[in-house]
Amino acid sequence: MRGASSTATIAVVVCAYTEARWDELVEAISSLDTQMRPADEIVLVIDHHDDLLARAVDRFPHVRVIPNSATKGLSGARNSGVRATSSEIVAFIDEDARATPEWLARIDARLTTDPELLGVGGSIIPRWMSGRPVWFPGEFLWVVGCTYTGTPTEPAYVRNLIGCNMSIRRTVLERVDGFRIGRVGSLSIGYENDETELCIRARRLHPGRHFLHDPDVLVVDHRVTPARSTFRYFVKRCFSEGVSKGRLTSALGANDGLASEREYLLRTVPAAIASAAIGTCRGRWSDGLRGLAVIGGVLVTGSGFAIGSVLRWTKAGRRHLTLQNRQTAELTAR
């Protein structure tokens, strides 16, 4: 049952693709069961994994567990989840993260008190399964899908939400025709920006309306495995993000595609390097390692961006971008 003060219905969509995250999935669903403001619907989408589907159906009788009926991958799973719900607001959380008890209540409060908001997201706090590496810079926590240094610390409008912790009005999701670009499994080179692409299209179709980042809309314990704590993964993820942003910018233009990145490069990165230099001079060698990681991460991401931008000239890239632009034009004309 919903709380008496609620004025909108909320569905929560969780997507899962592997049994390796089973324990975390159980924790995620448990965190939804203990919300101060209960969800009106909870939908768990299993991405083309029959054994996991059967196991989830047996374990979560109170949750609507469905298979991904669309193309394999996160975008298809999210779209399947949205189609399976009827609530006015659709909230998304990763299967390896946990919502704080106030999560849905804060989402409800934000979206019901400001009808002009397209959606709301919030902070995502990591849980390092093998400890955070001393070299890992806070400015690059986006590598592991978490809130990074440079993200607003007070409620603020943002270009896009982060998929692990985002809620969007159903009317918006329907008008943009769902998610398009998406990854399959844990990492698909150049296809990480499905929610960024959706948010940009949504803002174009709704001039004057915004997405809000509210740090108090909190998701915690986003699992970071030992494999994702390595420098090798860091480099791979930076490169992939660069490729993805290059493709995104080619499809939607630099004004929107790089709006947040300009601020990041002009303010966040220089501040991180300066802080690392000062710390190193004072004998804190871990600060120096983090500074080097920032510089390396920027260079690798930039190289990926260059390659992603070049893809627009390939036959496959042109076909992909032409479809993207045509679909966007059709939606704008509606």
- CA-nearest of 162, 69, 77, 76 to 120 is 162
Mean pLDDT value across residues 295-319: 80
What average pLDDT does the structure give for the chain?
Answer: 89
Mean pLDDT value across residues 103-128: 97
Tokens of 116: 């002009």
pLDDT band at 308 (very low <50, low <70, confident <90, very high): confident
Q: Residue 49's domain spans which residues?
A: 10-332
> Is 299 a member of any domain?
yes
> Is 91 a member of any domain?
yes
The pLDDT tens digits for 48-66 are: 999 999 999 999 999 999 9
> Is 1 a member of any domain?
no
> Is 4 a member of any domain?
no
Pair 43, 13: CB distance under 8 Å: yes
Q: What are phi and psi of 230, to 5 degrees?
A: -90, 155
The pLDDT tens digits for 191-238 are: 567 899 999 999 999 999 999 999 999 999 999 999 999 999 999 999
> Is 3 a member of any domain?
no
> Is 2 a member of any domain?
no
What's residue 260's pLDDT? Answer: 85
> Is 268 a member of any domain?
yes
Q: What is the pTM of this model?
A: 0.88
Supply the CATH number for residue 14's domain: 3.90.550.10
- CA-nearest of 73, 79, 8, 71 to 43 is 79
Cα–Cα distance, 315 to 304 (Å, whole number): 19
- Percent of the chain, pLDDT > 90? 77
> Is 5 a member of any domain?
no
Per the structure, how many domains does the chain have? 1
The pLDDT tens digits for 314-331 are: 645 444 444 343 443 333
Tokens of 54: 């059967």
